[in-house]
Structures are given as structure tokens and as C-alpha cells.
Amino acid sequence: MQKFLGIIVGIIFLAVGIFMFIKNNNLVKNCTVEVEATVVDMKQELSTDSDDMMTYMYYPIIEYQVGEDTIRETMSNGSSTPEYSINERLTILYNPNKTTEFIVKGDKTSSIFSIVFMVLGVFVTGYGIVMVVKKD
């Protein structure tokens, strides 16, 4: 079982990357209405990294208008240092069929992460296969 661990881990990375890629592409396809949003607050969440270091992750809370409604949503991508400041304005694209679903115009972070996961998955799976096939 241990000699197949690389293959299993690689396939998991590849699957996560593909899932993220499909999810991001669906957001890009569905979020078609452009509007200005304002960062109104910052949500802080305590996080522990791989070295058991406690850090805060910052998630911007934005507001934008859809007709007469003011939508207030927390961004799904957080960072260890605030990426945006309070009162900062940014352009977003929201889904007209689900107005709380949005993406920041021009933000490629989700696409980059999905590609990194897929590439890592391919390399780790390939390495795992080489290690299984390799004769001692």
C-alpha cells in the first residue's frame, strides 16, 4: 500500500484541481453582470499553518447594489495580510440568477490555484507510477 501512496496523493491533488477548475469556470460563465462594490468590513479568522503557527486570515466583506437591493457578502478567498482596504472600490461580476454569487473582475487567483493543483497532481502521480514500476 505504501508504494502506491504517491499515486493516491497525486490523484487527490489532480481531482481537487479539476474540481476547482470546473467550479471557477462555472462562476466565470454565470457571473455576467458588472457592478461596482465597496469593501465595507474585514472578517478575521484564526488559522493554524503546518508549523502550528497561529495567524489570522482576512476575508473582505463587500457591498453592492442589485436593483433596489443592497447585497452584503464575504469574499471566499482570504489572505494572511488584507488584500483590500475598507472603503476600497472594486469591480465585480455577479450571477443575475443568484445575486450573492460573484467574482472580482480580473482576479485570476482561483484559476492559478486550480492549475497548480492539477500540475502537482500530474507530477506526483507520475513520480508515484515511476516508483511503483521501478525495480529495486
The full set of domain ranges for the chain reads 2-133
Residue 86 dihedral angles phi and psi, to the nearest 5°? -60, 140
Measured in whole angstroms, how far is the alpha carbon of residue 1 from the centre of its chain?
A: 32
> Which pLDDT tens digit goes with each residue over 53-94?
888 899 999 999 999 999 999 998 888 888 899 999 999 999
| Nearest of 65, 4, 80, 5 to residue 35 by alpha carbon | 65
Query: Are 24 and 77 a contacting pair, CB within 8 Å?
Result: no
How many residues make up the chain in this entry? 136
Point out which residues pair with 69 in neighbouring strands. 66
Q: What's the pTM value of the predicted model, to 2 decimals?
A: 0.78
